[in-house]
Structure 1
Amino acid sequence: MSSPVLLSLSSFVQLDRNASTPLFIQLAQQIINGIQRGYLTAGAKLPGTRLVGDQLGLHRKTVIAAYDELEAQGWIDIIPNKGTFVLQQSRVKQSIPSTKPPISTTQYPIKTGYDIQISNILDNPFEENRAPYFFSDGTTDIRLTQVRNLSLQYSSSMNRKGSLQRMSQYHENGSIFFKEQLSNYLNLSRGLHISKHNLLITRSSEMSIYIIAKVILKPLDKVIVAELSNFAVNMTLLQAGATLETIPLDKEGISIEALKQKLKTGRIRMLYITPHHHYPTTVTLSAKRRLELLQLANEYGFIIVEDDYDYDFHYEKAAVLPLASADTNGMVIYTGTLGQSLAPAFRTGFVVAPQNLIQEMNKYLGIIDRQGDIIMEQTLGEMIEEGEIHRHLKKSLKVYRERRDHMSDLLQDMLEDYVSFDTPNGGLATWVQFHQIKSLMTIKEKCLKQGLLIPRHTLYQNKQISAMRMGFGHMDNLEMEQSISILKNALASF
């Protein structure tokens, strides 16, 4: 009859002969695991090396090496002429052998053995996409990226004379060279008046908003957002402890009159806006309201966080300059993304603010991303210096404008009976409103059955509105046509 311990070994020891870890180390580690979990109790006699080898299909010398390793680590005691025994030590878990079959040592615990704080606010709103077609909320098409050219740019920046010297200037506040190039680029393209000392470099716009919230907000601070706003930003602000209040918007952007009423009822700490192309409706904040907004910020002392998430994409005329370009009192924090027309790995977020605030935000950045991406910042700096960023953007703008126009034609020709929309003057998405209040989740389900995913976060529905933010940037003409056709079939089935 086989030893009970031998049977126990075969139930939880699983060896991978293709792994780089030697078999004797694998065996030793899994026996240690079995001791810790109570499968092998203190004082238990281990089977002989020949028996273990036969049972597990190992050479006897492999088992001997494993036993020697266990003895060296203090887990077993090898007594000549008596046998090998599990040592009774404080680190060895003492327990009564379980009547349940032992769990494989390769299985990791599903849950912690302790309580954790769970955030329902930060639940992931995004869905896994397995459908052949999908709408986005306005993203670029990675297929348009000239990956080979970007790779060559990345490689050449590493080998260029002076690159190593520039990289040596990197410290916890980011690449000096990149900040100099980016500040010049923003001054020329967006009418700002900043230096490298006014920049915080982040990995993404989400990281920018997170750090801003950590530095600026205290629990219960009142933050104003539009009644239709960026869900991801709202999540971040709520997680920071802010109290969110909303104001309506129309064809000219957020309502200044509604903001004035809010200001009369109590102190406001911050206003979050996307004035260039409002998210999600794509409307542009009018010049008159921009001036009024800056005057109110100066008068009442609230902070304006201006998120210029898609400044690069405008088609009809010159882009409207950001509020930050007219801010003389340090009331506007400006955030955006560089390189949206490039591959995702080449994009980077940034924050523009007065120097004292940048210094405080750098402290938080130093905790979560101290090193940054030295090589990428070097590459982006050189791409700005050599005009590559502008050339990439110019090429992609032509394509995205054609796609915007094609999407507008499709909506007009195929969905005129169901929706209304205005062709956006910029950005990568169209704001589409349904004529009748329909169940958008039902439409979503009908479309998914036909191979079109409409993500939840693109849908906006309440008693007054039934609408969606329909991204077109990521789709070619055929994909747009198929997607709109599926949506039309779903609407017609009601």
Structure 2
Amino acid sequence: MDSPILNGLFSRIKVDTGAGRPVYLQLSDRILALIRQGKLKPGQRLPSSRTVAALLSLNRLTVSRAYEELQLQGWLEGFVGRGTFVPAHIPEPEPKKLNGPTTGQARKTAGFTIDEQFYVPNPYFIPKAPLHLDDGYPDPSLAPLKEIYRAYRNQLTRSGLYRKFGGYSFPDGPEQYKSALSRYLGETRGLKTSTRNILSVRGTLMGLNLVCNALIRPGDIVVSGIPGWQRAEHNFVHAGARHIGIPVDAQGLAVTALEQICKRKKVRMVYVTPHHHYPTTVALRIDRRLELLRLAERYGFIIFEDDYDFDFHYSHRPLLPLASADENGMVIYCGSFSKSFSPAFRAGYLVAPENVIRHLANVRILLDRQGDHILDNAMAALLDDGTLQRYARKALTIYQERRDHFCNLLQQELGGHVSFSVPEGGMTVWTKFTRNTNLELLAKKAYAQGLYLSDGSIHRYPGFNENAVRLGFASSTKPALTQSVRILKTLLHKGAGTRS
């Protein structure tokens, strides 16, 4: 005979016949909660399925399925002629552990400790404003989306299905992608490579993180320019490296300061964005490029060359990468298609000597077994048929027009509030505001009026604050740029962004 106490316990179970989750699974969840809470003890006999069905106005088959589900999971056991029991070997829970998932709510905190101090905070903000002067993103409306879709779809044809989908492939990327990249990088950047010099990654940040994991040890010294890219710097810190910042002027990274450090300390790696320094957009002058390569050979440090926007240079042909003049295997070159199309396309590459690529591929397996070979091969098709090259030429013309339009607006409308140099390339203008401009307040007020721009906090360092931000022009149309500058002008003239 079923216990009145147990019947009362089961009668309080609630299920929702209109919910998306099957009723028998809801019921099994509720019974499991009773076991975990200690309300159903080890060895205890459960009410019969007929009784529970009557108590909850359910079909008996539904209750039987719930019992069977819990038996399959090992939370119940059934005996012919005796009934259904909570297994005697299940330990009885301690009262202090009766919170958490058994309450039916998602957990907010873990039961174990997290050493959050070990990680540098990496906040992010996803703006939803209709207008944007962003960090330098491309305009996705210009990207060859139809061609990308067609190339991706072609990879899903039925030919060679097992080769494409039957198992894992090379961790460094598919041969088709590496072959296309090798040709492309040779033609456009003067890099002498084979497929064994290339490793596919999902973007610059993954490439940099992989290099830090594989080649940087705690205590190693990593040098980069100040101001620089905060995400890169956080990778150095997380790897346990000692990060040293050196100045950046109108000719790029101050290599004389680097040499002074090398004379006193063993430098492991130098991170540099020589084509357009992030965030100031200045190009590393040719004599400094050659000197940087000479110092790398002399002192034995790695050069991590982040060439994030090679294709977009307006005054003349893009400067060839440091890697193209590297005769001693000191440069790891990183590029990405994210700045060409959209950050949503996670396709990039590392270029380095063969033994480095083998080592990076071995480490990469621990994080990401092989990447997205379907997307990689679709990108290879676009490289081979010239789609990417045609797109870059088209986008370059449009971005240059937007740059000129935007710089004219800044000069004419905000001349008394900002100073800047017209960038030779890239997708942003490094813009310095007057010292009495409160960028945090200005950004907040602008966002309230539908315009997003950075508040400049990521570009400030101890001893360095130019009260400057990157104002991206490439992702906005000319009318949108005009409207954006109009909002800034109104706010600045009203003193909305002025320090009190």
TM-score by length of 2: 0.88
Shift of 1:8: 4.5
- Residue range with higher mean Cα deviation, 154-163 or 201-210: 154-163
Runs of at least 5 residues in structure 1 that lack an aligned partner in the other structure: none
Paired residues of 1:219 and 1:242 also in contact (CA < 8 A):
yes
For the residues of structure 2 that align with 1:86 and 1:40, how far apart are their CA atoms?
9
The alignment status of 1:351 with 2:350, answered yes or no, reads yes
Letter in 2 for 1:480: L
The alignment status of 1:132 with 2:125, answered yes or no, reads no
Residues 53 and 402 from structure 1, CA distance in 2 versus in 1: closer, same or farther, beyond 3 angstroms? farther
The alignment status of 1:390 with 2:386, answered yes or no, reads no
**CA deviation string 1:190-218 (max 9, x = no partner):** 01111111111111111100111112211
Q: Percent identity?
A: 35
For the residues of structure 2 that align with 1:172 and 1:252, how far apart are their CA atoms?
38
**CA deviation string 1:229-287 (max 9, x = no partner):** 00110011110011111111111001122122222221111111100000000000001
For the residues of structure 2 that align with 1:18 and 1:34, how far apart are their CA atoms?
21
**2:466 match:** 465
Paired residues of 1:77 and 1:85 also in contact (CA < 8 A):
yes
Letter in 2 for 1:38: G
User: Residues 343-422 of structure 1: matches in 2 within 5 Å?
Assistant: 343-422=342-421
Paired residues of 1:140 and 1:340 also in contact (CA < 8 A):
yes
**CA deviation string 1:446-489 (max 9, x = no partner):** 22332323335675346652100111122122322232222223
**1:32 match:** 32
For the residues of structure 1 that align with 2:179 and 2:112, how far apart are their CA atoms?
48
The alignment status of 1:153 with 2:151, answered yes or no, reads yes
Residues 129 and 287 from structure 1, CA distance in 2 versus in 1: closer, same or farther, beyond 3 angstroms? same
Shift of 1:43: 5.6
Letter in 2 for 1:432: T
Letter in 1 for 2:490: N
**2:86 match:** 87
SS in 2 for 1:226: strand
Letter in 2 for 1:90: H
**1:209 match:** 208
For the residues of structure 2 that align with 1:146 and 1:214, how far apart are their CA atoms?
35
Paired residues of 1:201 and 1:350 also in contact (CA < 8 A):
yes
Runs of at least 5 residues in structure 2 that lack an aligned partner in the other structure: none
Residues 16 and 311 from structure 1, CA distance in 2 versus in 1: closer, same or farther, beyond 3 angstroms? farther
Letter in 2 for 1:407: F
Shift of 1:131: 2.8
Letter in 1 for 2:30: Q
**1:475 match:** 476
For the residues of structure 2 that align with 1:7 and 1:470, how far apart are their CA atoms?
66
User: Residues 282-321 of structure 1: matches in 2 within 5 Å?
Assistant: 282-321=281-320
For the residues of structure 2 that align with 1:102 and 1:251, how far apart are their CA atoms?
57
**2:492 match:** 491
Residues 119 and 132 from structure 1, CA distance in 2 versus in 1: closer, same or farther, beyond 3 angstroms? farther
For the residues of structure 2 that align with 1:121 and 1:77, how far apart are their CA atoms?
46
The Cα RMSD (Å) is 3.1
SS in 1 for 2:271: strand
**CA deviation string 1:73-120 (max 9, x = no partner):** 664567899x9675352325345699x999765423222212233256
Shift of 1:418: 0.3
For the residues of structure 1 that align with 2:415 and 2:66, how far apart are their CA atoms?
75
Residues 46 and 239 from structure 1, CA distance in 2 versus in 1: closer, same or farther, beyond 3 angstroms? same
The alignment status of 1:112 with 2:113, answered yes or no, reads no
Letter in 2 for 1:87: V
**CA deviation string 1:50-91 (max 9, x = no partner):** 55435544223322443355456664567899x967535232
Number of residue pairs aligned between Structure 1 and Structure 2: 490
Paired residues of 1:254 and 1:285 also in contact (CA < 8 A):
yes
Letter in 1 for 2:111: G
**CA deviation string 1:280-309 (max 9, x = no partner):** 000000011111111111112222111101
For the residues of structure 1 that align with 2:40 and 2:196, how far apart are their CA atoms?
62
**CA deviation string 1:164-191 (max 9, x = no partner):** 8788994233211211110110011001
For the residues of structure 1 that align with 2:371 and 2:96, how far apart are their CA atoms?
50
Residues 323 and 96 from structure 1, CA distance in 2 versus in 1: closer, same or farther, beyond 3 angstroms? closer
Paired residues of 1:211 and 1:361 also in contact (CA < 8 A):
yes
TM-score by length of 1: 0.89
**2:121 match:** 123
